[in-house]
């Protein structure tokens, strides 16, 4: 093994999606591979036991593959199974066996972890091979390794190693199901090839306050399990095998970050009212009930968006009405939160692609997702709606319907709601009365008919993540077009203005719950529109509130007027950035390079 000093230091740049500094060991997450835990063999005697366990599982793997070969060989028409011979050969390969036993002996780690490290090492070697065919042969090594892991009993449900100090998850891609499976308290940071600011890993990372850098393109190929990694989730940097000086610098940065955070929290609970008396309700976006305390400490007035789809992920059975209800009741337990907006399930798109039960669609973002799926699978929808109605008996609960593209969808949803209300009344089950029903405005067609929609519902919530995606035709999880993702595009700004104006003309409040709402750069622009509620990830709240308190709506309107005098984002962005940085320098610290 090379010492740390000999290892190559690399700095990778990606999209900064969740702020903070994480310093730790890499864990290469690969959905296809068996996930293994690391444990240290503190007692030397255990090492020889571990080596024996490894050798036994190799022997068992060879036996099994031979048996498979024998059985298949008897089938008519089967060619000699060279591929199995290759796997058997690999299992007997001296350098592989020595590599694993050396890891166990010198590092005092369990056999599963050592196998995993050896596979990663081979991955590194194969990645360098020019010939595509030979490079592809890495899958044989993976297969052989998996066979051993299975025999070690390593094929565990747990999708993350149980390490004392936590890990930095490195992956090509993570689905919501992957993150839901992880022991999230073990994750110190995320560094992922795919994704951008609004992909779901980003959203989960932010809401759980885990530093994350996405869109790194090739990090999963260059970092191995156990490499030392630093993530700077504020600057979008990942440093692999840092030298000691870098390490010191980032440890200091990490302490500074914690200090700033403490300072920001000091006035987080003060209301968001401008100098000229315009009050903005501040909501928090959550995916998990566990985030409620963070919402409270960061100063949320209510829950502006509860993304309930996470209740459906990573379970064998669909959640029952009681499962839903138990969760929704817990949302209402924090006394300082004045309301809870529960969004009905928004499965599909980038939110459930790992579930084989849902048909794979060519274009899932525009496919059978959210309200479309709910109206198709009415029984599934009803289970959730009944639970939301019942939760409404215990507090101020709002219902929010995602992905509405036409008036029929909301009418249909309301018809089902009315039916369920009647059922509950008949069954003498307490339910909320006259609960506000709102829709997400995230499909351009909904903006165009916002005046008509406003007559059907009690509030709007603008979902800029999807609205920008659809309006500018940019796949929100495709990092290759993320440079086009522009909240300050004049088209986006006009859409927002249209929605706010239509809502206000009809006398209903308009919220925004997309990521744009939580970026302090846009706070004054949004204030200028007269938006009633901004809902965001908990971390963003204190800064946005400070900006609102330090400004007036008059100033915001003036800024917006100027913004609308420009016809391109390339004029608007520098103007807004410059204005905001000068006006609120403490909210936009200059990044240290
Ligand atoms: C949005 O689209 O802006 C939104 C808030 O919903 P999601 O990110 O869950 O699609
Ligand atoms: Mg959306």
Same domain, 214 and 301: no
Among residues 28, 87, 200, 324, which one is catalytic?
200
Q: Decide if 349 is inside a domain.
A: yes
Least confident of 449-458, 474-483, 554-563: 474-483
Residue 533 token pair: 């509620």
471 lines ligand 1 (CB under 6 A): no
Domain boundary among 119, 152, 185: 152
Cα separation, 8 vs 10, in Å, equals 6
- 17 and 103 within one domain: no
Q: Is the CB of 513 under 6 A from ligand 1?
A: yes
Residue 23 belongs to some domain of the structure: yes
Summarised one tens digit per residue, pLDDT across range 398-433 is 999 999 999 999 999 999 999 999 999 999 999 999
Where a domain ends, among 133, 152, 171? 152
Ligand 1 geometric centre to CA of 462 (Å): 9
Radius of gyration from C-alpha coordinates of the chain:
26
Return the CATH number at 204: 3.50.30.10
Closest CA to 27 of 173, 225, 223: 225
Is residue 593's pLDDT more than 50? no
Decide if 36 is inside a domain: no
Say which range, 40-49, 215-224, 259-268, has the weakest mean pLDDT: 40-49
pLDDT, residue 355, reads 46
- Rounded to whole angstroms, the Cα distance separating 466 from 444 reads 9
Same domain, 454 and 518: yes
Cα atoms found within 13 Å of the Cα of residue 366, Cβ hemisphere only: 10
Task: Give the CATH number of the domain where residue 283 resides.
Answer: 3.20.20.60
**Ligand 1 centre from 465 Cα, in Å?**
5
Ligand 1 contact via 514 beta carbon (within 6 Å): yes
Same domain, 401 and 352: yes
Asked, for residue 312, whether it belongs to a domain, the answer is: yes
Does 34 reside within a domain?
no
Residue, of 575 and 157, whose pLDDT is higher: 575
CA distance 229 to 387: 44
Q: Please name which ligand lies nearest the alpha carbon of 487.
A: 1
Catalytic residue check, 513: yes
Q: Which residue minimizes the CA distance to atom 9 of ligand 1?
A: 307
Residue 302 has pLDDT above 50, yes or no: yes
Instruction: Decide if 265 is inside a domain.
Output: no
For the stretch 17-74, pLDDT in tens is 999 999 999 998 875 554 567 777 777 788 888 999 999 999 988 887 787 767 655 5
Of 142-151, 221-230, 237-246, 275-284, give the range with the top mean pLDDT: 275-284
> pLDDT band at residue 316, thresholds of 50, 70 and 90?
low
Residues 97 and 66 in one domain: yes
pLDDT of 397: 97
Higher pLDDT, 355 or 271: 271
> What is the pLDDT, as a whole number, of residue 33?
54
**pLDDT band for position 472 (50/70/90)?**
very high
> Are 553 and 276 a contacting pair, CB within 8 Å?
yes
Question: Residues near 60 by Cβ (< 8 Å), separated by ≥ 6?
Answer: 151
Q: Is 350 in the pocket of ligand 1 (CB under 6 A)?
A: no
Ligand 1 atom closest to Cα of 309? 9
Task: In whole angstroms, give the CA distance from residue 86 to residue 92.
Answer: 10
Ligand number nearest to the C-alpha of 468: 1
Q: Does any ligand 1 atom lie closer than 6 A to the CB of residue 466?
A: yes
pLDDT at residue 85 in the model: 77
CATH no. for residue 67? 1.10.274.10
- 123 with 189, same domain: the answer is no
Q: Does residue 457 have a pLDDT over 70?
A: yes
Q: Determine contact, residues 206/537, Cβ cutoff 8 Å.
A: yes
Same domain for 339 and 440: yes
The Cα 217–Cα 231 span in angstroms is 15
Whether 433 and 407 map to the same domain: the answer is: yes
Tell me: pLDDT of 199 over 50.
Answer: yes
Q: Are 25 and 61 members of one domain?
A: no
What is the rounded CA–CA span in Å between residue 110 and residue 156? Answer: 15
Higher pLDDT, 253 or 453: 453
**pLDDT of 164:** 56
**351 CA from centroid of ligand 2 (Å):** 10
Q: Which of helix, strand or coil describes residue 452?
A: helix
Last residue of a domain, one of 102, 121, 152: 152
Which of 284, 324, 489, 513 is catalytic? The answer is 513
- Inside any domain, residue 82: yes
CA distance 196 to 573: 19
CA of 463 to the centre of ligand 1 (A): 5
Q: Tally Cβ neighbours within 10 Å of residue 32.
A: 8
Q: Is residue 146 domain-shared with residue 199, that is, in the same domain?
A: no
Confidence of residue 437 (pLDDT cuts 50, 70, 90): very high
Cβ contacts of 281 within 8 Å, gap of 6 or more:
272, 301, 302, 304, 511, 532, 533, 534
The residue segments making up the domain with residue 302 are: 273-587
pLDDT tier, 349 (very low <50, low <70, confident <90, very high otherwise): low
Query: Which of 177-181, 240-244, 541-545 shows the lowest per-residue confidence on average (mean pLDDT)?
Result: 177-181
Of 493, 497, 475, nearest to 484 (Cα)?
475
**pLDDT value at residue 67:** 75
Question: Which ligand is located closest to the Cα atom of residue 512?
Answer: 1
Query: pLDDT by residue (tens digit) across 126-141?
Result: 878 877 667 767 767 8
- The mean pLDDT value for 470-499 works out to 92
Rounded average pLDDT over 314-339: 87
Report the half-sphere exposure of 347 (CA within 13 A, side-chain side): 26
Mutate to test the pocket of ligand 1, among 440, 487, 511, 536 (most ligand atoms within 8 A of CB): 440
Q: Are residues 432 and 284 in the same domain?
A: yes
Residue 202 lies in a domain: yes
> DSSP string spanning 141-164?
HHHHHHHHHHHTT---S-SS---S
Section 552-576 average pLDDT: 98
> Number of folded domains in the chain?
3
- Do residue 254 and residue 338 come from a single domain? no
What average pLDDT does the structure give for the chain?
86
The whole-angstrom separation of Cα 195 and Cα 203 is: 11
**Any idea which of 77-91, 248-262, 328-342 has the lowest mean pLDDT?**
77-91
**Secondary structure of 284-344 in the HEC alphabet?**
EEECCHHHHHHHHHCCCCEEEEEEHHHHCCCCCCCCCHHHHHHHHHHHCCCCCCCCEEEEC
Task: Assess whether 298 carries a catalytic annotation.
Answer: no
- Express as a percent the part of the chain with pLDDT over 70: 88
- Ligand 1 neighbourhood includes 346 CB (under 6 angstroms): yes
Question: Could you tell me the distance, in angstroms and rounded to a whole number, from the CA of residue 439 to the centre of ligand 1?
Answer: 12
Question: For ligand 1, is residue 61 a contact (CB within 6 Å)?
Answer: no
């Amino acid at each position: 093994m090379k010492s740390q000093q000999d290892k190559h230091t690399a700095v990778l740049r990606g999209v900064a999606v969740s702020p903070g500094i994480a310093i730790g060991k890499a864990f290469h997450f690969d959905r296809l591979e068996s996930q293994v835990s690391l444990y240290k063999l503190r007692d030397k005697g255990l090492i020889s036991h571990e080596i024996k366990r490894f050798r036994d599982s190799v022997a068992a793997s060879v036996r099994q593959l031979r048996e498979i070969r024998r059985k298949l060989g008897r089938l008519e028409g089967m060619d000699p199974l060279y591929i199995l011979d290759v796997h058997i050969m690999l299992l007997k390969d001296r350098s592989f066996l020595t590599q694993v036993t050396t890891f166990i002996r010198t590092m005092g780690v369990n056999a599963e972890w050592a196998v995993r490290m050896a596979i990663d090492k081979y991955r590194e070697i194969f990645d360098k091979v020019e010939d595509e065919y030979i490079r592809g042969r890495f899958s044989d090594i993976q297969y052989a390794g998996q066979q051993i892991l299975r025999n070690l009993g390593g094929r565990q449900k747990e999708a993350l190693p149980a390490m004392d100090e936590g890990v930095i998850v490195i992956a090509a891609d993570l689905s919501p199901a992957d993150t839901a499976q992880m022991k999230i308290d073990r994750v110190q940071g995320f560094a992922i090839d795919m994704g951008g600011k609004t992909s779901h890993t980003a959203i989960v990372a932010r809401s759980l306050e885990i530093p994350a850098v996405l869109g790194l393109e090739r990090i999963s190929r260059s970092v191995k399990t156990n490499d030392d990694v630093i993530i700077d989730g504020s600057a979008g940097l990942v440093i692999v095998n840092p030298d000691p000086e870098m390490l010191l610098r980032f440890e200091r940065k990490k302490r500074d970050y914690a200090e700033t955070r403490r300072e920001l929290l000091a006035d987080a609970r003060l209301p968001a009212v401008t100098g000229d008396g315009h009050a903005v309700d501040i909501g928090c976006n959550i995916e998990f009930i566990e985030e409620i305390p963070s919402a409270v400490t960061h100063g949320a007035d209510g829950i502006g968006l509860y993304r309930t789809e996470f209740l459906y992920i990573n379970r064998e059975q669909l959640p029952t009405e009681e499962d839903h209800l138990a969760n929704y009741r817990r949302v209402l337990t924090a006394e300082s939160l004045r309301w809870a907006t529960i969004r009905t399930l928004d499965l599909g798109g980038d939110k459930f692609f790992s579930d084989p039960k849902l048909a794979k669609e060519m274009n899932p973002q525009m496919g059978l997702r959210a309200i479309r799926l709910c109206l198709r699978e009415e029984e599934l929808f009803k289970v959730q709606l009944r639970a939301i109605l019942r939760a409404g008996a215990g507090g101020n609960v709002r219902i929010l319907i995602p992905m509405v593209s036409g008036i029929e969808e909301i009418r249909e949803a309301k018809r089902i709601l009315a039916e369920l209300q009647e059922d509950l009344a008949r069954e003498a089950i307490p339910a909320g009365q006259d609960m506000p029903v709102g829709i997400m405005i995230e499909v351009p067609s909904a903006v165009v008919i916002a005046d008509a929609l406003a007559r059907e519902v009690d509030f709007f919530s603008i979902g800029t993540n999807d609205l920008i995606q659809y309006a500018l035709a940019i796949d929100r999880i495709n990092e290759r077009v993320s440079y086009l993702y522009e909240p300050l595009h004049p088209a986006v700004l006009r859409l927002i203005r249209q929605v706010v104006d239509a809502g206000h003309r009809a006398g209903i409040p308009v919220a925004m719950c997309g990521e744009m709402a939580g970026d302090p750069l846009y706070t004054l622009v949004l204030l200028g529109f007269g938006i009633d509620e901004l809902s965001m990830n908990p971390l963003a709240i204190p800064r946005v509130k400070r900006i609102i308190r330090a400004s007036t709506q008059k100033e915001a309107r003036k800024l917006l007027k100027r913004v609308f005098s420009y016809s391109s984002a390339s004029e608007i962005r520098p103007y807004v950035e410059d204005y905001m940085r000068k006006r609120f320098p403490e909210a936009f610290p200059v990044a240290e390079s």
